[in-house]
Amino acid sequence: MGITVKRLLDAFLGKTVWPPPIWLMRQAGRYLPEYRELRSQTTDFVSFCLDPTRASEATLQPIRRFGMDGAILFSDILILPWALGRELRFDEGHGPRLPPLRTVDELQNLQVQGFLEKVTPVLETIRLTRARLAAEHPDTALIGFVGAPFTVACYMVEGGGSKDFAETRKMAAQDPALFDGLIDRITQASITYLLAQIAAGAEAVMLFDSWAGLLSPTSFEKHVIQPTARIVAAIRQHHPDIPIVGFPRLAGTMAAAYAEKTGVSTMGVDTAADLNLVRQLVPSTVGLQGNLDPFALLSGGEVMEQEARAILDAMKGRPFVFNLGHGVMPPTPPDHVAHLVDFVRGQ
Ligand code: CP3
């Protein structure tokens, strides 16, 4: 095996690489016919995530088709609560369902010791995928991930998706001992899980904080910045040079403090943020990633090119990774993804 320089890892670590590396959140998923075929072989989504052969295949599907610079582990952020002992189902059309966590007893019953055994299949997916990338796509880097503690807590407390996660925010405000205890346990487990992912072959890791934007600046500091900083510090103790990407979705102006205080190498930027302003708020040592509107990708053509061009113009000369501002939408034509990759590579 020769030495390969992976452009994505350089960009994640704050080097300006141009044209910028590209990968897409939810690049594996229902918009790909080969994913739908693979997915149809397993009835429930949790079993699919825990099947290393199929999960590895799903990870590689978009790489074979489009040759992205990054392959993201095929799994889900809710596999961690499942491994901690919470039941998890994905019902067609309803998204995830878990039993809501609302009491001290339920908190104390979380299996923080020994949960890692339950995610053995995910670690096997990483090993398999890394070996297959080395053989077939040596320039593509493998990205591991977790949900950030606040976002994982949102799903655990609420018991599934929600527009505003009112029960979660109520608990955070009214029962801080319970909520802080939950954030603490998720943080601890996330450190263990990410270290195991890195040991299995993940070359970068990402923390998805999809609901970070629901919080006030004070709560954001406590439930987003502090736990994220703790995870970053713990990982860096063992792996000082591993790229760590944080994605505080819809954080608005709070993203500046996130970039400064968490220690992430690169910050993901959501669709609603103006990259020209973000650029001014974030130190140039922190890479940025984002933020094409998934609906521009869905539309394709001129609309997509114009929006992509504006992003590239705003980020020129700065460490940057091209991505969407949120995940690929299921009705997206795969040809639009191929076109986007060509367009960005043509810069
Ligand atoms: O390419 C990839 O990004 C694959 C890995 C991946 C999935 N989910 C696969 C998945 C990753 C990194 C995630 C992260 C995730 N999961 C987040 C954070 C990012 C975000 O979207 O904000 C969240 C909040 C979840 C929780 C989750 N998982 C929800 C709310 C849903 C249902 C909604 C939906 O889109 O169906 C899922 C299911 C899920 N996770 C699917 C995939 C491909 C769809 C399942 C299917 O029908 O095949």
155 counts as catalytic: yes
Angle at 162 between CA 327 and CA 226, to 5 degrees: 75
Angle at 46 between CA 43 and CA 48, to 5 degrees: 60
Q: What is the pLDDT of residues 118-140, one digit of tens each?
A: 999 999 999 999 999 999 999 99
Integer Cα distance of 292 and 336 in angstroms: 13
Contact present, 178 and 192 (Cβ < 8 Å)? no
Helix or strand holding residue 320 (H, E)? strand 320-324
What length is written for the chain? 347
Contact present, 17 and 70 (Cβ < 8 Å)? no
Q: What is the pLDDT of residues 135-155, one digit of tens each?
A: 999 999 999 999 999 999 999
36 counts as catalytic: no
The answer to whether the CB of 320 is under 6 A from ligand 1 is no
**pTM, 2 dp:** 0.97
Report which of 299, 298, 296 is spatially closest to residue 310, judged by C-alpha positions. Answer: 296
Contact present, 79 and 49 (Cβ < 8 Å)? yes
Q: Compute, in angstroms, the gap from residue 76 CA to the centroid of ligand 1.
A: 6
Q: Which of 31, 35, 155, 193 is catalytic?
A: 155
Q: What is the DSSP pairing of strand 320-324 with strand 287-292?
A: parallel
249 counts as catalytic: no
Q: What is the DSSP pairing of strand 70-72 with strand 141-147?
A: parallel
Q: Name the DSSP letter for residue 21.
A: P
Q: What is the pLDDT of residues 238-288, one digit of tens each?
A: 999 999 999 999 999 999 999 999 999 999 999 999 999 999 999 999 999
Q: How far is CA 64 from the centre of its chain?
A: 21
347 residues of the chain, pLDDT tens digit each? 445 589 999 999 999 999 999 999 999 999 999 999 999 999 999 999 999 999 999 999 999 999 999 999 999 999 999 999 999 999 888 899 999 999 999 999 999 999 999 999 999 999 999 999 999 999 999 999 999 999 999 999 999 999 999 999 999 999 999 999 999 999 999 999 999 999 999 999 999 999 999 999 999 999 999 999 999 999 999 999 999 999 999 999 999 999 999 999 999 999 999 999 999 999 999 999 999 999 999 999 999 999 999 999 999 999 999 999 999 999 999 999 999 999 999 98
**Domains of the chain from N-terminus onward:** 7-345 (3.20.20.210)
Report which of 15, 11, 22 is spatially closest to residue 347, judged by C-alpha positions. Answer: 22
